[in-house]
Amino acid sequence: MEQKKYWKGLEELHNTTSHQEAVKNEFREDLPFEESESFLGATTPRRDFLKYLGFTTAAATIAASCDIPVKKAIPYVNKPEDITPGVPNYYASAYAVDGEYVPLVVKTREGRPIKVEGNEMSAITKGATTARVQASVLSLYDVARLRFPGINNKNKETDLAKRIQELQYAELDKQIAAALSGKSVALLTSTIISPTTKKLIGEFLAKYPGSRHVTYDAVSYSGMLLANEASYGKRTLPAYHFENAKVIVSLGADFLGTWLNPAEFSGQYGETRKINAKNPEMSKHFHFESMMSLTGANADERFTHRPSEAGVVAQALLAALGGGVSAPAIANTRLKEGIAKAAKAIQANPGKALVVSGSNDVNVQILVNAINNLAGSNGSTIDWAANVNYKQGIDADMQQLVSDLNAGSVGALIVYGVNPAYDYFDAAKFISGVQKAGVSISFNDRYDETTELCKYILPDHHYLESWGDAEPRSGYYGFIQPTIAPLFKTRAFQDSLLTWTGNTTAWVDYLKNEWITRLGSQGAWDKTLQDGIIEPATAPAMGGASFTGDVAAAAAKIGTPKTSGLELVVYEKVAIGNGKEANNPWLQEMPDPITRSTWDNYACVSNKLAKSFKMELGDDYEINAEKKVLKITAKGKTVELPLLIVPGIQEDTIAIAVGYGRGKKEFIGKAAGEVGANAYPFVSYNGQTFDYFVTEAKAEATGAKYAVGLTQTHNSYEGRPIVKETTLEEFIKNPKEVNHDRQHLFETYGEDFRNEGTLYTGGTKFEYPGIKWGMSIDLNSCFGCGACVVACTAENNVSVVGKEQVVLAHEMHWLRIDRYFAGDENNPEVVFQPMLCQHCDNAPCENVCPVAATNHSSEGLNQMAYNRCIGTRYCANNCPYKVRRFNWRDWNGADSFEGNLHDTADMNDALTRMVLNPDVVVRSRGTMEKCSFCVQRLQDAKLHAKKEGRPMKDGEAKTACQQACATGAIVFGNVNDKDSRIFKVRNEEQTDRLYYVLEETHVLPSINYLAKIRNKDAAPVAAGHGAKTEEKAHH
C-alpha cells in the first residue's frame, strides 16, 4: 500500500529550509525568563511575583529566627577520669564560718561547685541549711575577691593591681619571716572550730614567744561564755536541745535566724512544731524582745520590752520561779503578765523547758542559767556534757589587744577572717593601733577595711577551695575538702602559718597526717572525707551541771532600765548576718523575713514612732517606696537611714541592722560597697562585754527621702481565707473548724469538687496516669527563714535584678515567702506563707497564652517553653497567686541585643557566671518564667530510676526548696504513689488542716498548705477580719 503523506502546509509538503529550521527549533520563542546584566537593573516580571514573594518571606523568616548568638564549647582533649560532662559529682564538705557550722554536700558540674545541700548524715543539722549557707557558693565566684598576694602600697589608687604590689609567695615568705623574727605576734581571728588549725596556731605562736591568739567575734557571745564560767565553771557553750522542750522561752535570742547556729536549732524547734493530727501537741514558745526578730515572729506569745529592760525581764522571770531574787518593778502590765505566764508554763513542765537569751551581758546570762537550773533544763534540754565551740571570742581580750596595739607593744598583727576596722565598735582606735603595729598581715579574702591597713596581703582560699576540719561540738567532727582548684593565686592561711613556723609540710598533708594518726588508716580517712563527718553512732548521754553562780550579785548588777526616751538596738539581718558575706547579691536580694526589704539597712520603728515623723502605715506609705530619712544620734555617733515601720517593735525602740555601711565598691564589691550605714559604732563596751543596745538615742527627720526596695508592701491578709490558722486548744476541740469554709465548698459542689465544680459537663478530668507531682507546705513548721528562696535562686539561675528594680517590683524570685501581720499593731501575730507556682491543673495562665508557651504536662506540671514566649504578660496578669516573673530587662546576657545588659551586681562576669546551673537555661529578656518544680531534678530522678530499671522511689526527686528547708515544712512527691509522704500527708495524716489557697477559684492547684496552729490561749484573730495594722477596716 502506498504510504500516504499528509501535510499541513505547503512548506511541509515542499520541505523548505525554513520549515526544516522550524522543526529543529520547536519552541521558537525564548522562555520568558529575562536575565539582565546588572543586579540593580533586574526586572521583576509579573510571573515571578509569587517566586519573589516566597523567597523574601522565607528569607525574612529565617533572618528573624536567627537571633540566638552561637557560643562554642570546647570538649576535653583528655577527659578527666572523674568528670563526665553533664553528670554532677558530689563532695562532702562543711561550712564553718565564724563558728557557724553546717555540714554540706557540694554539687559540682564539670569541676565547678554550683550548689550546696545539707549533709543529711549529720545529727547536728540533719541536712538543714540556711540562706547564708546556700548563698556561700556564689561568694566563691565573687569578683571582688583578692586574686594575688602582695604588699599593700596604701596609695589612693582604686585599681587593686596598682594598690597592691604583686609578689610571689616565696618572696613574701622571705620578707615576712624576716619581719616576724623575734617579734611578739598577735593573731586575730574569729572563732575557729578547726581542731587541727588550732593545734597549728599553737605551734606557730610557740615559735614567736610572747605571742597570743585573740578570738574576736563581730557579734559577740562573750556574755554567755563568761556567765557559763561563773555558773558552771567552764567557759564554753552547752548543746541546746530544743526538740526536748515543751516550753521555750527566748529572751531576745533569735535562734531561728541568727543566734549561734540557726540551721541546728531550726530543725530541733521544727520537731516541736509539727502537728500529729492523732495526738496534737506542740511546744509553747514565749518570746520577749525589743525589736521584731524572725524567731519572735514565730512565737506563740510575744511580749516587747525596752532594750534596757532585758536584764529586768530575766530577773523578773527568775523571781517568779522563786529563784531567790527580788521581783523588779515592771510598769508594763502586758509584759508583767507575760512573764508570769511564762513562769507558770515553765513550772508546769519541769525538765521540759528551755530558756535562752540573746543578751551579751554576763549578769543577764547568769540569771538565765539560774532560770534553766530551776526549770530543770540542765541535762534535759541543755546538755552540759558537750562543749559547743560555735563562739569563743572574749570581748575583754579584744579590748586588751586594741589598747596594746595603741601602746605599740604588739610586734606583729596577723588578721584572719575578721574585719575590726569595720565591725569593731571603736574602729578608729583599732585603725590607729594597726598603724603602730610593727608588721601587719591580712589573710582576708578581699581588700576590706582592715586589709586596707595591713602591709602584707595573703588572701586565703574560699572554703570550697580549702582543706580543713571542724569540731563544732566535742566528739562531733566535720571535714572540709576542696571542690575546685583555687581560682586565684590564693594560699591557705594554714600553709602560711606552717611556712612561717618553719614546717615544710603542706597543710593538706599536715591535716591528713593528723587524722590518719587519729583514725588509724588511709582507708578510714578516705571514708571520712566521703562522709564529711565523724559523729558518735549513738548520741552520747546528756549531762547536767550544778549551778554555782552568784544570782544575788548578778541581779544587783542589772542596771535600772530607762523609762522614757528612745533606745536603739543593733541586730543582725537573717541574710546578711555580721556583714562578712554581705557582698553576695543573692543574699542582698533575699527579702528580709520581717521587713521584706532588700539591699539596704534602715531604721526599724513602730507605727507610733513613725507618726511623730509624719509617716504611718497606710496607702501612702504602701505605694511610695520613698521613706523619710531619720538622723539617729546615740553615743555621740550619727547615722542617717530611712525609716521602715515594723509592727510589733517596741514603740520606743529603733532597730538597725549591722553589715551595711561598708567601704568602697571597688574593694568590697558592688553588692555591699557603699550601701546603707554602719551600725557597729552604736555597740558599746560595758567593762566586761559588748552591749548591742544604746539608751538615750535621738531621732529626727532630715527632710530627705530614700527609696527602700520592699518586695511586699501590704502587711495584712485582710481576713481572706488564703491563710488559715487556729489555736491548739481549738484544734483539739474541733479539728474541722479551721477548714470550715472548705467544708462549705464540699457541701455545695460535692466531695468530688475537682470535677463537679466546673462548667464543663463530666468535668475536665484528666487522670494523670503515672506520675502526678504535688507539694504540701506546713505553715506550722515554716519559719520564713528564706533558705528555700536562696536555694531556688541557686538551683534555677534566678536572676538578680538589683535594688532599683526591686523598687519597681521587678524582682525575679520564683519562690517568695509572704509575711502577714494580724491583730494588734503593737503586738501582731505573724504568719509566713511560702508562695510559688501552684502548678494548677486548671491553670488560668495556660489558656490565655496566645502562643501556647505555657502548658500542662502529663505529670501535672505547669510548664514554660521560654523559646516560645513572646512576652505578652497575659499569663502573669491572670495568675491569682502572682507568682509569674517577667524578664523586664536583660539580666543575664541571654538577649540578642548588644549593650543593654542590666547588671548591677556583677552577676554576669565570666567568673560569676561559673555558678550557673548548666541544667537550667538562663532566660532572655522579654520572656516569662516561674517555678518549674525543679523539673530538671524530676527528670534526673526519673531517668536515674529508668536506667536502673525500677520505678522511681519516693524522695528521689526533691525540689531545691524542699531540700534546703531545715524543718521539712515542704513535702514533695508523686501523689499517685500511695506510699509516698505527700500521699500520706494529704490523705491520712493531715486531712483536717489541709487546704488549698484560693481553692474556690477552681484553678485546682497542686500545692496544698497545712493550716497554722498557735499554741496560745486567746482565741485567734477571727478569720474574716484583717489586721489593724492596715488602715482599712473593710466591710
Partner 1 sequence: MHLKYESTLREPLVDGVKDYHQVTEDIISPIEAKPGKLWYIGLFISILLLLFGVFSVFWEVYFGTGVWNLNKTIGWGWDITNFVWWVGIGHAGTLISAILLLFRQGWRTGVNRAAEAMTIFAVMCAGQFPIWHMGRVWMAFFVLPYPNTRGPLWVNFNSPLLWDVFAISTYFTVSLLFWYSGLLPDFATVRDRAKTKLRKMLYGVASFGWTGSTKHWQRHESLSLVLAGLSTPLVLSVHTIVSFDFATSVIPGWHTTIFPPYFVAGAIFSGFAMVQTLLIITRKILGLEDYITIGHVEAMNKVIVLTGSIVGVAYLTELFMAWYSGVQYEFDTFYNFRAAGPLGWSYWIMMTCNVISPQVFWFRKMRRNIMVTFIMSIIVNIGMWFERFVIICTSLYRDYLPSSWSYYRPSWPEVGFYLGTFGLFFTCYFLFAKYFPVIAVAEIKSILKTSGKNFKDKMDVYEDQSVEKFAHDNTHH
- State yes or no: residue 1008 binds partner 1 (CB under 8 A): no
- Greatest C-alpha distance within the chain: 151
- State yes or no: residue 836 binds partner 1 (CB under 8 A): no
- Cα–Cα distances in Å, from 541 out to 239, 356, 382, 389, 464? 12, 21, 12, 19, 34
Q: In whole angstroms, how close is the CB of 874 to partner 1 at the nearest point? A: 5
Three-state secondary-structure class, residue 188: strand
Q: Which is nearer to partner 1, 32 or 850 (CB)?
A: 850
Answer yes or no: are the C-beta atoms of 458 and 496 closer than 8 Å. Answer: yes
Q: Which is nearer to partner 1, 891 or 983 (CB)?
A: 891
Strands 928-929 and 885-886: antiparallel
- Position among 350, 543, 735, 844 found at the interface with partner 1 (CB under 8 A): 844
Q: In whole angstroms, how close is the CB of 926 to partner 1 at the nearest point? A: 3
The piece of 250-258, 678-686, 766-774, 998-1006 that touches partner 1 (CB under 8 A) is 998-1006
Across-strand partners of 1010? 778, 994
- State yes or no: residue 718 binds partner 1 (CB under 8 A): yes
Residue count, binding to partner 1 (CB under 8 A) = 69
Terminal Cα-to-Cα distance of the chain (whole angstroms): 116
Q: In whole angstroms, how close is the CB of 231 to partner 1 at the nearest point? A: 45
**What would the grid cell of residue 378 be?**
540542765
Answer yes or no: are the C-beta atoms of 1008 and 719 closer than 8 Å. Answer: no
Answer yes or no: are the C-beta atoms of 806 and 757 closer than 8 Å. Answer: no
- State yes or no: residue 799 binds partner 1 (CB under 8 A): no
Q: In whole angstroms, how close is the CB of 844 to partner 1 at the nearest point? A: 5
- State yes or no: residue 848 binds partner 1 (CB under 8 A): yes
Three-state secondary-structure class, residue 5: coil
110 CB neighbour count, 10 Å cutoff: 16
Dist CA 665 CA 130 (whole Å): 26
The piece of 227-235, 335-343, 531-539, 807-815 that touches partner 1 (CB under 8 A) is 807-815
**What would the grid cell of residue 124 be?**
547536728
Q: In whole angstroms, how close is the CB of 736 to partner 1 at the nearest point? A: 21
Q: Which is nearer to partner 1, 926 or 951 (CB)?
A: 926
- Position among 301, 811, 829, 859 found at the interface with partner 1 (CB under 8 A): 811
Site for partner 1 in 697-716 (CB under 8 A): 712-714, 716
Answer yes or no: are the C-beta atoms of 147 and 488 closer than 8 Å. Answer: yes
- State yes or no: residue 530 binds partner 1 (CB under 8 A): no
Three-state secondary-structure class, residue 201: helix
Nearest CA to 191 out of 604, 396, 472 is that of: 472
- State yes or no: residue 153 binds partner 1 (CB under 8 A): no
What does the per-residue mask of binding to partner 1 show for 300-319, with x meaning CB under 8 A?
--------------------
Q: Which is nearer to partner 1, 371 or 869 (CB)?
A: 869
CA 1034 to chain centre: 36
- State yes or no: residue 890 binds partner 1 (CB under 8 A): yes
- State yes or no: residue 234 binds partner 1 (CB under 8 A): no
Q: Which is nearer to partner 1, 87 or 870 (CB)?
A: 870
Q: Which residues of 433-466 are buried (b: 16+ CB within 10 A; e: fewer)?
A: bbeebbbbbbbbbbbbbbbbbbbbbbbbbbbbbb
- Position among 497, 1003, 1011, 1021 found at the interface with partner 1 (CB under 8 A): 1003
Q: In whole angstroms, how close is the CB of 635 to partner 1 at the nearest point? A: 38
- State yes or no: residue 379 binds partner 1 (CB under 8 A): no
- State yes or no: residue 143 binds partner 1 (CB under 8 A): no
The piece of 69-77, 96-104, 670-678, 887-895 that touches partner 1 (CB under 8 A) is 887-895
Residue with cell 586575730: 188
832 CB neighbour count, 10 Å cutoff: 23
Q: Which is nearer to partner 1, 769 or 850 (CB)?
A: 850
- Position among 301, 818, 992, 999 found at the interface with partner 1 (CB under 8 A): 818
Three-state secondary-structure class, residue 242: helix
910 CB neighbour count, 10 Å cutoff: 8
- State yes or no: residue 869 binds partner 1 (CB under 8 A): yes
Site for partner 1 in 722-751 (CB under 8 A): 722
Q: Which is nearer to partner 1, 718 or 730 (CB)?
A: 718
Q: Which is nearer to partner 1, 83 or 876 (CB)?
A: 876
DSSP 676: S
Q: In whole angstroms, how close is the CB of 71 to partner 1 at the nearest point? A: 19
Q: Which is nearer to partner 1, 627 or 925 (CB)?
A: 925
Q: In whole angstroms, how close is the CB of 935 to partner 1 at the nearest point? A: 19
**What would the grid cell of residue 724 be?**
488559715
267 CB neighbour count, 10 Å cutoff: 22
What does the per-residue mask of binding to partner 1 show for 895-934, with x meaning CB under 8 A?
x-x--x-x---------------------xxxxx------
Q: In whole angstroms, how close is the CB of 850 to partner 1 at the nearest point? A: 4
Across-strand partners of 353? 247
Which residues 6+ apart lie within 8 Å of 623 measured at CB?
713
Answer yes or no: are the C-beta atoms of 157 and 163 closer than 8 Å. Answer: yes
- State yes or no: residue 1011 binds partner 1 (CB under 8 A): no
Q: Which is nearer to partner 1, 67 or 979 (CB)?
A: 67
The piece of 116-124, 221-229, 442-450, 864-872 that touches partner 1 (CB under 8 A) is 864-872
- State yes or no: residue 764 binds partner 1 (CB under 8 A): no
- Position among 246, 284, 810, 839 found at the interface with partner 1 (CB under 8 A): 810
- Position among 193, 291, 789, 835 found at the interface with partner 1 (CB under 8 A): 835
Dist CA 115 CA 138 (whole Å): 9
- Position among 878, 918, 921, 945 found at the interface with partner 1 (CB under 8 A): 878
DSSP 303: E
- Helix/strand/coil (H, E, C) string of 703-717? EEEEECEECCCCCCC
- State yes or no: residue 758 binds partner 1 (CB under 8 A): no
Q: Which residues of 120-151 are buried (b: 16+ CB within 10 A; e: fewer)?
A: eebebbbbbbbbbbbbbbbbbbbbbbbbbbbb
- Position among 277, 340, 809, 921 found at the interface with partner 1 (CB under 8 A): 809
What does the per-residue mask of binding to partner 1 show for 58-97, with x meaning CB under 8 A?
---x--x--x------------------------------
Q: Which is nearer to partner 1, 616 or 718 (CB)?
A: 718
Site for partner 1 in 615-634 (CB under 8 A): 619-620, 622-623
Q: In whole angstroms, how close is the CB of 618 to partner 1 at the nearest point? A: 10
Dist CA 338 CA 299 (whole Å): 13
**What would the grid cell of residue 866 be?**
521560654
- State yes or no: residue 877 binds partner 1 (CB under 8 A): yes
Across-strand partners of 399? none
Residue with cell 520581717: 594
Dist CA 844 CA 395 (whole Å): 58
Dist CA 483 CA 468 (whole Å): 12
Nearest CA to 245 out of 294, 281, 298, 293 is that of: 281
DSSP 652: T
The piece of 420-428, 548-556, 813-821, 979-987 that touches partner 1 (CB under 8 A) is 813-821
Q: Which residues sit at the interface with partner 1, rule CB under 8 A?
A: 61, 64, 67, 619-620, 622-623, 712-714, 716-718, 720, 722, 805, 808-811, 816, 818-820, 833, 835, 844, 847-852, 868-874, 876-878, 880-882, 884-890, 895, 897, 900, 902, 924-928, 997-998, 1001, 1003, 1032, 1034-1035
